Amino acid sequence: MKWTEEEIAILRDTNKTHGQLKSLLTNRTISSIYVKCFSLGIRRSYAGGGKGSVLSDAKIEELRNGEFLEIVNGHLLGDGCIGGRHQRFQLSNTHFDYVEYTQEFLNKLTERKVNVGGGKTRTSFWAEGRTSTSTSYDARCSLGNFFKPLRKKWYLEVSNGKYQKIIPRDLELTPLTCNRLYIDDGSLRSDLKSHSLAICIYTDDFLEDDVDFLIEKFNEQGIGATKESAGIKRKRDDGSRYRIKMHGPVVIEFLNYIGECPVESYKYKWDIKTYQNRTVLCSQCSNIIEEWGFGPKSRRKTCSKKCRLLNRAELLRNRRKAAKELASLSANI
């Protein structure tokens, strides 16, 4: 069936998706519409296997200035990547609720219906014949005109076809960005015995300069993060790997800054248990001692070394006195 002028005029409206064209051209199949557009050189910046829609420049601009970019940036700092022929964004994770939540969020802003991908079970083989299986899911988003510039910003070609993820210097750190980075690559460690609480962000794959930059960004937000070497076990050609650490009350500041955990499966990363600020009076000078730890009771009794020594002397004196009394008591019997 020959294409009429009217039909071709409809095809030339690049603001319409192939699906929208189909509803206007009831006699045509979606694949014949696709092929005809292709042969006429009418291009739509679609992706996702050709099922996508074109987003207007205004819409793309909107995505660049809001939550969408903040979330994508957070994942790019974490487990997300951009790659492939369509410059597709992808986040893989073993927790379905997290991937589904992310996919729904991306879909809402891009006005697309993309399903969660992956779901394949992989078996890993460890030493001594141990194995473990895990199922990974993918949240995906294909928006060529949005992700192409991001891919250029975040990836540096280090050798032929090999890329190193880098952190663009115009990155804006926001609570939402940090929230996703933390879920992807952060861990919370609470040691009830030593009363220590810490967050570690595994930035191992970034270069040292980028880790320094990220720490500076945290510090700008008033979050006292520090750099820690990941150890020589995982040393690479151009130097060691580094991680970002936060300790004690900084952990609480950070968790307050990034807001709540959006999904059930990662709530454990927010569970600081009974970690709190406790105050006691010094037993020697009555100074107020502030201390962070688990539970309401502080282990400390004195404020300074001087008071600690005084306290120890007093303890020894009391002990000697008690021993003397006991001795005279038994002598009298």
By the criterion CB under 5 A, which residues form the site for Zn ion?
282, 284-285, 287, 303, 307
Torsion region of 128: left, alpha or beta (phi above 0 gives left; psi -120 to 50 gives alpha) = left
CA distance 147 to 99: 19
Residue with smaller CB distance to Zn ion, 35 or 281: 281
Q: Which CB, 299 or 324, lies closer to Zn ion? A: 299
Min CB(289)–Zn ion separation in Å = 8
Neighbour-count burial of 215, counting CB atoms closer than 10 A to its CB (0-12 exposed, 13-18 middle, 19+ buried): buried
DSSP-H helix ranges across the chain:
5-11, 18-24, 30-40, 57-64, 67-77, 96-110, 144-154, 175-185, 208-220, 249-258, 305-332
The closest of 194, 226, 227 to 293, measured between CA atoms, is 194
Which residue is associated with the tokens 């979330």?
Answer: 71
DSSP, collapsed to helix, strand or coil, labels residue 322 as helix
Cβ proximity to Zn ion, 187 vs 287, nearer residue: 287
The nearest distance, CB 304 to Zn ion, in angstroms, is 5
Q: What does the alpha-carbon distance between residue 261 and residue 178 come to, in Å, rounded to a whole number?
A: 11
Q: 4 vs 287, which CB is nearer to Zn ion?
A: 287
Taking the complex as a whole, how short is the minimal distance between the CB of residue 301 and Zn ion, in angstroms?
9
Output the smallest distance, CB 283 to Zn ion, in A. Answer: 8
Closest CB to Zn ion among 30 and 289?
Answer: 289
CB of 313 to Zn ion, least distance (A): 13
| Smaller CB separation from Zn ion, 22 or 278 | 278
**Closest approach of Zn ion to the CB of residue 285, in Å:** 3
Nearer to Zn ion, 227 or 300 (CB): 300
Is residue 160 a contact partner of residue 200, using CB atoms and an 8 Å limit? no
Torsion of CA 196, 199, 202, 207, to 10 degrees: -100
- Closest distance of CB 298 from Zn ion, Å: 13
